[in-house]
Structure 1
């Protein structure tokens, strides 16, 4: 299987965990997009569910596929969220946010009884950090926040470059929540839990892409098939 086929295979397996009457969190990204499409097929075949999207892009996809949507204001407790990841490390620690939806993704996952991660084999790593860690920040006070982030990381490991994510035309990338993203090029993260706590304590950091103790299951598809990892 090529990478796209692996993503599809992981999403297909995840659909098996969807039951009638469920309240679903719908993730964002290329792998989650397959899941949203597959859920839409089941909805059109008669599956009765309701869902909360984690981004405006996912909302548009879900509406196009005919999936009934709600909000966390109307439905504050969800049964399960299915989402992708940029990296899956030991203990189902994750890096997420490559698509820029990390804040909403974490809010929706935290409101869910269970989080299932779907990914192709390339996302499974022995140590997190090769993928740059997204850190969502308020635009106000960017310089002070960037300096504080550098200090917080330096207290644990080498900070590495902290570039601001930009669009193709050179402007700052803006999230659905109106924030900016710093992509911390750390190389490796030896203590994800400690780094998560340090970043969360920085004023101006709205959220970071370390998901620690949130995911309960990962469905990982590779050339030889699909495997399930549980925490």
Structure 2
């Protein structure tokens, strides 16, 4: 039983005709977007706001109409995944490298629905390294300053090259261990010059849709 597919498709039931929908990035929300593509072909009328070039490409291939963020003031619902989520509705995101755009889209959404499989739902955040998006300029200095908050930052590398986000930045993957005060850490990270944004989503998500390997889907509302 594909728990990610179950969660991704279930979340689409929250979407109604005429909505502006934030389209997340990742392996679980991928199923949501595929389902939305089917429904658009069957006459569902929505406009999508993609959170990455990858999602934008997929939505175009499926015929989902897209709208530019600059032409809207609010998004009705955003569906996105998480690398970790706890019972306080705090998330770690950014494993796919789209955390800045994901947070921008979620921040102007009336509602954010998080889709995931049961392995991502945890008692405490921090086993998954926290992604922090930083400028390329002076990145070594930024990394040193981030480390003073109690982690070991590692520059993300892909195919032996520094990973570069859709915004032209680097990502530090930071091992903090157990994160007990996500709100405070979020603020402290974003105060460091050179940090563009971090993958802690606090007071943003409203609903979690969790797919289980036994075929059961759990929906938790804040």
Q: Normalized against structure 2, the TM-score is what?
A: 0.98
Alignment of 1:156-195 (within 5 A): 159=151, 161-168=152-159, 170-195=160-185
Task: State the partner residue of 1:202.
Answer: 192
Does the residue aligned with 1:126 lie in a helix, a strand or coil?
A: coil
Matching of residue 49 in structure 1 with residue 39 in structure 2: no
Matching of residue 119 in structure 1 with residue 109 in structure 2: no
Matching of residue 211 in structure 1 with residue 201 in structure 2: yes
Matching of residue 30 in structure 1 with residue 27 in structure 2: yes
Task: Quote the RMSD (CA, aligned, Å).
Answer: 0.8
Gaps of 5+ in 1: none
Distance in 2 separating the partners of 1:147 and 1:182: 11
Matching of residue 98 in structure 1 with residue 100 in structure 2: no
Task: State the partner residue of 1:70.
Answer: 67
Q: Normalized against structure 1, the TM-score is what?
A: 0.94
Does the residue aligned with 1:90 lie in a helix, a strand or coil?
A: coil
Match for residue 218 of structure 2 among 204, 220, 227: 227
Distance in 2 separating the partners of 1:208 and 1:97: 8
Q: Which protein is richer in strand relative to its size?
A: 2
Distance in 2 separating the partners of 1:178 and 1:38: 30
Gaps of 5+ in 2: none
Count how many residue pairs are aligned between Structure 1 and Structure 2.
Answer: 221
Cα offset, 1:147, TM superposition: 1.2
